Structure 1
Amino acid sequence: MPLILDMDPGIDDAVALAIALTDPEFEVKLVTAVAGNVSVDKTTLNALKLVEFFNRLDVPVARGAAKPLQKEFVDASYIHGASGMPGYEFPAVTHQADSRDAVSAIYQTLLNASEPLTIVATGAYTNIAQLLLDHPEIKSKIKQLVLMGGSLSGGNVSSVAEFNVFTDPDAAKIVYESGLPIVMIGLDVTLKALVNSETLEQLAKLGEPGKMLHGLITYYKDEYAGGKPLHDVNTIFYLVHPEAIKTKKYPVYVCTQGPAQGATIADTQNRWSNGKTNALVGLDIDATAFNQWLIEKVKQMAAK
């Protein structure tokens, strides 16, 4: 499954990227970084660290947007630490990011692909929105957008808004109005797929990859009763186990201003949408299957 990953590593992004780089189910064509959990300089560096850690220098990493389209940038270093990936001592990187900016790199990768590609976006959608603004003709080369973000049941940075959408709601609005096939994997799923203490203990025993991921997740400040939500990893899980996530098609609207800024609203009563939908929305998940899958994926990393 060929993928473009647009990310803001970030601890949960790091786990998602680790699996995507090492799972034979996926062919990662490109990784692009965006400002989100920490600054874009740091998210780019973190992506480079992981590509080197897994010896995947064949995968280009491109630096993207340093700030949202209109909104002031505010990071989540209070959750992910100053570097974005504390908890493990990575060696200094030995190679540089791609000379292209993220939008150019995504555009050229799509243009040169023999088939439409899936884009997985686990940070703010600034790079994706800018791509659609600059190159609307490239839509035909995008198979689907699998987005971590949004919520139909309440937010994590405000009473209604999830962090990725809240960080750049104007970009999210552009993406949701693009007409592209969208899968929304938001808090309705990710806050149920908690990585429990038993899973975390097992990871620590699974070689250097397990030690690295255990270190990152242990530091992770996003915690609820029962475990830690590795939000972004759910997008990768969905791609290989869609049957484990309950979904339903909805018309989803993004609020860009006011006290509901960053909210994703589903017109469940068909008051505004005239029966049209624009997103397949995740509503529930088999958390046990998710934890088991995560352990198996890290076992595979350790065995290489």
Structure 2
Amino acid sequence: MPTPILYDCDPGHDDAIALVMAHRSPDIELLGVTTTCGNAELEKTTDNAIRVLDFVGASDVPVAAGCARPLARPLVLGTADGPSGLEGSPYLPKPSRGPLKQHAVDFLAEKLAASPDPLLVVATGPLCNIGLLVLKHPHVLPKVKELIWMGGVFYRKSEIITPTEFNAFCDPEALKLVLDARVPITMIGLDVTMQVLIEAPQYKELAAIDTPLGRVAMDWLKFYEKLHRNSMGVGGAMHDPLALALAIDPTLVRTRPAHIGVDLSGSYTFGATVADFWHDRGEEDNARIAYDVDADRFFKLMFDLLR
């Protein structure tokens, strides 16, 4: 039986590929998509989600728009995906429909409450919607089987890893709300996602997928690579597709429990996620974090689904 999931995102080139994977995987039943601000303003990320879903024949998947700004501070947009959030997409049609009239947070609460079993939630943007869910609908939190979130960073393995990851930086108060609510959460941070980079071998494999979807994905990744290549000297990282892939195969990464704190006041590390593995602060574990990934198996899964 496929795993039913709710997907919260801010498309975003890598979110777009994750959306395609979620729709095409026989192991996933995509119950709905909710959108938030982050890589672009909410109206744009919502349009992008609808454009991608319509393009791959998933116009029956409901899309609900959520938070237009972080919960407690002004919106700072991401820069990797261009002004629209999905630049370099000449093949994509304009959105054929609008989002549901229902707010994303109420949509999530309704779906969770109606499900006979707890549901898996995947989130690959700032946690504005999930944080507001904690505040507005705390009664449905026991129906969250697990939250898989692409966010945070925990080890400084090289100079390309910054102290703070964007999704955490954009709305750290929402992240703290979710962590304090003790929702079961697995965090896929930059230290792991930067191990799944699109480089020459991956471009060669993608070029062999001579379909409309293959060409769109190539356009996405070529645009998305620009920031990574110019600023860090590496290809684009598959941050969000890796998080989504765990809904299909959780053995792709290895995780360990920790207590995660969020820096809400640092001048240079604002929004940083700090892992305490040894309970030095006397706090109970509130998350599992990924620390290693089988990159070859991940790319095989991603390309199989894109084919």
Q: TM-score range by the shorter chain?
A: over 0.9
Counterpart in the other structure of 2:120: 118
Match of 2:216 among 212, 219, 224: 212
Amino acid at match of 1:103: V
Cα distance between partner residues in 2 of 1:189 and 1:284: 6
Residues 243-284 of structure 1: CA deviation (Å, up to 9, x unaligned): 23121111111111222211111112321135x211111001
Which deviates more, 225-234 or 102-111? 225-234
* Distance (Å, rounded) in 2 between the aligned partners of 1:231 and 1:158: 13
CA offset digits 1:226-248 (Å, max 9, x no partner)? 53201011112222232231211
CA contact (8 A) 1:203 1:295 kept: yes
Which amino acid is the alignment partner of residue 252 of structure 2? Answer: A
Aligned to 2:80, the other structure's residue is in SS state helix
Partner secondary structure for residue 95 of structure 2? coil
Q: 1:248 matched to which residue of 2? A: 256
User: For 1:229, what is the secondary structure of its paired residue?
Assistant: coil
Matched, 1:133 2:135: yes
The answer to whether structure 1 residue 278 and structure 2 residue 303 are counterparts is no
Following superposition, the deviation at residue 202 of structure 1 comes to 2.1
- Could you state the TM-score of these two structures normalised by the residue count of structure 2? 0.92
CA distance in 2, matches of 1:130, 1:156: 34
Q: Are 1:192 and 1:285, in contact at CA under 8 Å, matched by a contact in 2?
A: yes
Q: Structure 1 residues 26, 156: CA separation in 2 closer, same or farther (over 3 Å shift)?
A: farther
Q: Percent identical across equivalent pairs? A: 34
Structure 2: how far apart are the matches of 1:226 and 1:244? 22
CA distance, structure 2, for counterparts of residue 105 and residue 265 of structure 1: 31
Pairwise CA RMSD: 1.8
Change (3 A) 1:172 1:158: farther
1:123 and 1:97 map into 2 onto residues whose CA distance is 18
Structure 1: state its 5+ residue gaps: 300-304
Contact 1:148 1:184 in 2 (8 A): yes
Match of 2:177 in 1: 174
CA contact (8 A) 2:161 2:190 kept: no
- Corresponding position of 2:270: 261
Match of 2:71 among 69, 72, 81: 69
Contact 1:250–1:279, Cα closer than 8 Å, also in 2: yes
Higher mean C-alpha displacement, 288-297 vs 159-168: 288-297
Question: Cα offset for 1:114?
Answer: 2.1
Other-structure match for 1:50: 52
Distance, in Å, in 1 between the alignment partners of 2:301 and 2:262 is 32
- CA distance in 2 between counterparts of 1:208 and 1:252 reads 42
Question: Would you say 1:160 and 2:154 are equivalent positions?
Answer: no
The question of whether the paired residues in 2 share the 8 Å contact of 1:125 and 1:171 is answered with yes
Q: What are the superposed Cα offsets for residues 52-97 of structure 1, whole Å, 9 maximum, x if unpaired? A: 1111122110111111011221111x31011111122211222111
Total equivalences in the alignment:
297
Deviation at 1:157, TM superposition (A): 11
Farther-moved stretch of structure 1 (29-38 vs 243-252): 243-252
CA distance in 2, matches of 1:164, 1:273: 27
Partner of 1:302: none
Residue 116 (structure 1) shift: 0.9
SS of equivalent residue, structure 1 residue 195? coil
Check conservation: 1:267, 1:273, Cα contact below 8 A. no
| Structure 1 residues 188 and 157: alpha-carbon distance in aligned structure 2, compared to 1, 3 A threshold | closer
Q: Within 5 Å, give how 1:19-30 maps onto structure 2.
A: 19-30=21-32
- Whole-angstrom distance in 1 between the partners of 2:176 and 2:291: 20
How far is the alpha carbon of 1:160 from its aligned partner? Answer: 1.5
Is structure 2 residue 240 aligned with structure 1 residue 232? Answer: yes
Show the counterpart of 1:290: 298
Quick one: structure 1 residues 157 and 79, their matched pair in 2 at CA, closer, same or farther if it must change by over 3 Å? farther
Letter paired with 1:268? F
Distance in 1 separating the partners of 2:135 and 2:104: 14
Q: 1:147 to 1:93 in 2, by over 3 A?
A: same
SS in 1 for 2:101: coil
TM-score by length of 1: 0.93
